[in-house]
C-alpha cells in the first residue's frame, strides 16, 4: 500500500521532520495541530477557547486537503496543559463535531510545542 503526504497552506507548516498528515489507503493519520496561525506561524493570542478554535480550524483545513471533513474523523487525541480547562475545550469541540462523535482521549501534559495550552491529533477514514 502506498502512502500519500497531505499538505495545505491553510494550516501551519510542519515545525519539524513530519507531515501535516499521511493518507494510507482510505485512512488519514494527522499530526498534532497546535494553535498556530498559518499565515504567521505564531501562536494565537487568547484563552483556551481561542487556542482550541485555531487548532480545530487547522485540523479542519488538513482534513479538507485530504479530501474529507471533520465528519469523517473517527478518533481524536486532545492534549491540554491544564485539565481544569476540559469543559471549555468540550464546548468548543461541539462547534466542530456533531453526533455521532469520534472516539477520543484527553490527556494532561506538562508542556506543548511553542508554549501552546492545547493540541489535537486525529485519525480520519474516507469513503
- The domain that holds 93 is classified in CATH as 3.30.1330.40
Of the chain, the percentage scoring pLDDT greater than 70 comes to 100
Number of domains in the chain: 1
Compute the distance between CA of residue 35 and CA of residue 116 in angstroms, rounded to an integer.
7
Tell whether the model's pLDDT for residue 1 goes beyond 90: no
Which residues make Cβ contacts (< 8 Å) with residue 79, sequence separation at least 6? 32, 106, 107, 108, 109, 112, 118, 119, 120, 121
The per-residue pLDDT of the chain, averaged, comes to 97
Strands 103-108 and 3-6: unpaired
Compute the distance between CA of residue 123 and CA of residue 127 in angstroms, rounded to an integer.
14
Show the domain range for 82.
3-125
* Exposed / middle / buried, residue 95 (Cβ in 10 Å: 0-12, 13-18, 19+): exposed
* Mean per-residue pLDDT, 93-120: 97
Tell whether the model's pLDDT for residue 32 goes beyond 90: yes
pLDDT value, residue 15: 84
Amino acid at each position: 500500500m502506498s502512502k500519500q503526504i497531505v499538505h495545505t497552506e491553510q494550516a501551519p507548516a510542519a515545525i519539524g521532520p513530519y507531515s501535516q498528515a499521511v493518507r494510507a489507503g482510505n485512512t488519514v493519520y494527522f499530526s498534532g495541530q497546535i494553535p498556530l496561525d498559518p499565515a504567521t506561524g505564531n501562536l494565537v493570542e487568547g484563552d483556551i477557547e481561542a487556542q482550541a478554535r485555531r487548532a480545530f480550524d487547522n485540523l479542519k483545513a488538513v482534513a479538507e486537503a485530504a479530501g474529507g471533513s471533520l465528519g469523517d474523523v473517527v478518533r481524536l487525541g486532545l492534549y491540554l496543559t491544564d485539565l481544569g480547562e476540559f469543559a471549555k475545550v468540550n464546548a468548543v469541540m461541539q462547534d466542530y463535531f456533531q453526533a455521532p462523535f469520534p472516539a477520543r482521549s484527553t490527556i494532561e501534559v506538562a508542556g506543548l510545542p511553542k508554549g501552546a495550552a492545547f493540541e489535537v491529533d486525529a485519525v480520519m477514514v474516507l469513503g
